A and B are shown apart, each in its own frame.
Chain A
Amino acid sequence: MTAAPASNSGWERLRGWFLLPARIWMAALFAAPFAIVIAYSLLTRGVYGGLGLPWTLENYRRVFDPLYLEIGLRSFWMAAATTAICLLLGFPLALFISRAGRRKNLYLQLVILPFWTSFLVRLYAWMFLLRDTGLINTVLQHLGLIHDPLPLLYNNGAVLLGLVYGYLPFMVLPVYATLERLDPGLEEAAADLGAKPWPALWHVILPLSAPGIRAGGVLVFIPALGAYLTPDLLGGGRTVLIGNLVQNQFTTARDWPFGAALSVGLMAIVGALVLLMLRREREGLL
């Protein structure tokens, strides 16, 4: 490269500032708020729900209370089940799209489309179908199949359904990306060597798409673990997950230090998962 002429130095100096607005914004409105939460998590709850001294680790100890541990485990299992079902639904779909030839883009957009419309609207769509006076119960009653409405909404199953519905694209996209990069000759080679389509899929394609499955798994598991809106609307307060517990501590229960400790714990898990994924995959998004 040629040496930059003198007139460039102004621009180069200017370019050095390009990262500054993002740095300031992320420091002031992402890092600082979280630092405050960490500080709160070490304080004691005041008499009227405020914050007070002394500094303590008591809030972290309370996280392991059987009552809260149960909520934590439930969230963990819900997130794991969501991930597993998303894989079950998402992998074949990604495979289908990767083999769709000219229509690939169309099929891909059909996956992305509901995803970007509105999370709230998509949850309401399920409430509309599942509630006691919802479409499914109304139809079943009109057909005379049931007398009393089935309790479809406000239970664990409804929450699981909502989580799968919400995060399925997070699984499909990375799996599709790895399948897309596979050499089509691989399958032909497997076929030439006498492998039937299903064994070839199981022994060749599936292992090779592991990076995509791992990425998709993390991308589904993380938001499912910290989900708040889905259990709130579809669980109706019965299915309390970590996210709802955090929200509850900051609003109704007014125990900010404990809510803060829960948040820090949740972020620790999320951060660890992301680090684990980044370490395995060389190519990042940024």
Chain B
Amino acid sequence: MKRCLGLYAAAVYLFLHVPLVILAIFSFNSSRFTVWQGFSLHWYRAIFQDQELSESTWNSIVIALAATLISTVVGTLCAYGLWKRSSKMLSGSLYLSLVTPEIVMGISLLALFQWSFRWLDWRLGLFTVILAHVAFSIAYVVIVVAARLRTLSPSLEEAALDLGATEWQAFRFVTLPALLPGIVAAALLALTVSFDDYVITSMVAGVDSQTLPMVIYAMARRGASPVINAISAIIVVFFGALVLISERVRES
């Protein structure tokens, strides 16, 4: 049975990874067709000459950094607050936000923004995208930080209090440092989900706030281009490394 299981697992791993590996290999193909003609970095050079791509990448970076910063602060405070005093209402809505189909979240945010335009003088753009990204990232941050908090014993803070620390000092010098790996992992996770999102972003983005996934989507819809392979390879390697780092940090 052990051999069977090993073979089966190997097949599933191949299923998971081979498509991405092939995609990456063909980003080095000198031909624009799916026939291997020789090694070339042509498509990687093409990325940097494409203005649409560089603008959208820049937008994505700004959005992801802003959304990560806000959601990490809000989510960490929330996780700590829930640890001290649970709130069914709040954890319920966080759960629900995690399982809400993206398209439903996208259209409801669009509906909200459209509705607000009757009273407020603003329009769809980077700002609305950031607001939306924070809305769906908070739950991820809370879950990762809460998981870290559960590994901490409440008696740790109590011990600090018994030794004469104030509650603030107990939080600042005992709980927060112990929480840091969880916070870093949560931030990296928020960064990844924000940078990657297409569905919600495409609903609430304006003409001047195209993100990288939106451009990739449009290109994929138009047809095959090795440029997409090249960007994909960069994204996979970059975020793959980020996830591995985050796992390391969380385990430490």
Contact = CB atoms under 8 A, between A and B. Distances in A.
Interface size class, chain B: 35 or more
Contact of A19 (B26, B87, B95, B135): B87
Interface stretch (B15-23, B37-45, B51-59): B15-23
Contact of B101 (A135, A223, A233): A223
Interface in B141-174: 142-143, 146-147, 158, 161-162, 166-168, 171
Given A37-B108, A112-B243, A118-B235, A271 B96 contact: yes
A134 to B, nearest CB: 6
Contacts of A101: none
Contacts of A134: 34, 224
Interface in A98-120: 99, 105, 107, 109-114, 116-120
B28 to A, nearest CB: 14
Contacts of A113: 240, 243-244
A24 B7 CA distance: 50
A156 interface: no
Given A19-B82, A93-B12, A270-B99, A120 B107 contact: no
A125 to B, nearest CB: 4
Contacts of B46: none
Interface string A208-251: 00000000000000110111110001000000000100110010
A152 to B, nearest CB: 13
Interface residues of A, number: 91
B143 A285 contact: yes
A125 B228 CA distance: 10
B90 A23 contact: yes
A200 to B, nearest CB: 9
B93 A31 contact: yes
Interface in A70-124: 89-90, 92-93, 95-97, 99, 105, 107, 109-114, 116-124
Interface of B: 1-2, 5-6, 8-9, 12-13, 15-17, 19-20, 22-23, 26, 33-35, 73-75, 77-78, 80-82, 84-85, 87, 90-91, 93-97, 99-105, 107-112, 115, 131-132, 134-135, 138, 142-143, 146-147, 158, 161-162, 166-168, 171, 189, 192, 196, 198-199, 203, 213, 216-217, 220-221, 224, 228-229, 232, 235-236, 239-240, 242-244, 247, 251
Q: What are the nearest 9 A-B pairs in CB distance?
A: A226-B101, A18-B81, A22-B78, A33-B108, A96-B9, A29-B135, A33-B112, A125-B19, A228-B103
Given A22-B90, A226-B104, A263-B107, 17 more contacts: A7-B166, A19-B81, A29-B135, A109-B243, A114-B236, A117-B235, A118-B239, A121-B23, A121-B232, A125-B19, A126-B19, A128-B22, A133-B33, A134-B224, A229-B199, A263-B104, A285-B146
30 contacts: A4-B161, A21-B74, A21-B77, A22-B75, A22-B90, A22-B138, A23-B90, A26-B138, A29-B132, A30-B93, A30-B96, A30-B135, A36-B111, A37-B104, A92-B5, A96-B6, A96-B8, A97-B9, A107-B9, A111-B16, A116-B189, A116-B239, A116-B242, A119-B196, A124-B220, A142-B35, A228-B199, A256-B111, A266-B101, A285-B146
